[in-house]
Amino acid sequence: MFAKGTNQPMVWAMNADERRLQQLGERLTDRLCHDISSSGQALASGMDLLREAKREVERDEATALLIDALAAQRAKLNYARRAFGSAADAIATGELKALAAGLYADIRPTLDWAVEAASLGPAAARALLILLQIVADALAAGGVARATAQAQGDCLVVAVEATGPRVAIKDEVRSGLAGEAYAAGLAGRWAPAAFVAMLAASAGGTIAIEPREGGVRFALSLPPGA
């Protein structure tokens, strides 16, 4: 492509916001590929075992591994599509609960689902799923992630509270939730935090990190229906 009226190539000069979006897209893609490839490796291992199996018990064990790995792959793909893909309509709470359960199926922390609304708006639903992922990372040593969504005054407050023996909120998570560009630390933890901050800003909401006894609470305030 050439600049109008010249034979000189057109140079795209990105501003700070465009560079931040590019950075977010790159880091988020890295994180999603990493998460999904782990269950893909388990599928490959199951196939190798099935090829080498000579006894029926070995074939049964390989088949069970394949079934578990396929279920994990499907859960991760469904979660990623709902959390990070486009959404224009409200999402039923039952579907959100199933996605959250799949996310927490094979990790140390347990899920306490306390969302009573029949459905959540697209921004609220996606933000809740991403906050659950952020909390899962923070509870690497185990604990409980409690998900809630309640009307408070003129706002809907979507929150996930992390309680555990060693709740660790990394600096890159805090900077991502503050809407800051990636600077240091684990980019795979910064990216979901930055994405949920962008969701909140575009919907006219705010995010707070609230210390709790034995843990921390992430609370997102949004306009009703967002």
pLDDT in tens, 50-93: 888 888 888 888 888 888 888 888 898 999 999 998 887 899 99
Q: Residue 10 falls within a domain, yes or no?
A: no
Question: Residue 1 above 70 pLDDT?
Answer: no
CATH number reported for the structural domain that contains residue 147 in this entry: 3.30.565.10
What pLDDT is recorded for position 13? 61
Q: Residue 181 falls within a domain, yes or no?
A: yes
- Please compute the mean of the pLDDT values over residues 146-168 and round it to a whole number: 93
Confidence of residue 224 (pLDDT cuts 50, 70, 90): confident
Q: Considering its fold, how many domains does the chain have in total?
A: 1
Q: Give, in degrees to the nearest 5, the angle at Cα 173 between 167 and 179.
A: 150
**Counting Cβ atoms within 10 Å, is residue 77 exposed (0-12), middle (13-18) or buried (19+)?**
middle
**Counting Cβ atoms within 10 Å, is residue 10 exposed (0-12), middle (13-18) or buried (19+)?**
exposed
Helix (H, G, I), strand (E, B) or coil at 181: coil
Q: Residue 7 falls within a domain, yes or no?
A: no
Q: Residue 74 falls within a domain, yes or no?
A: yes
- Give the number of other Cβ atoms within 10 Å of residue 86's Cβ: 7
Under a CB-based contact definition with an 8 Å cutoff, are residues 159 and 220 in contact?
Answer: yes
Q: What is the pTM of this model?
A: 0.86
Q: Residue 135 falls within a domain, yes or no?
A: yes
Q: Residue 55 falls within a domain, yes or no?
A: yes
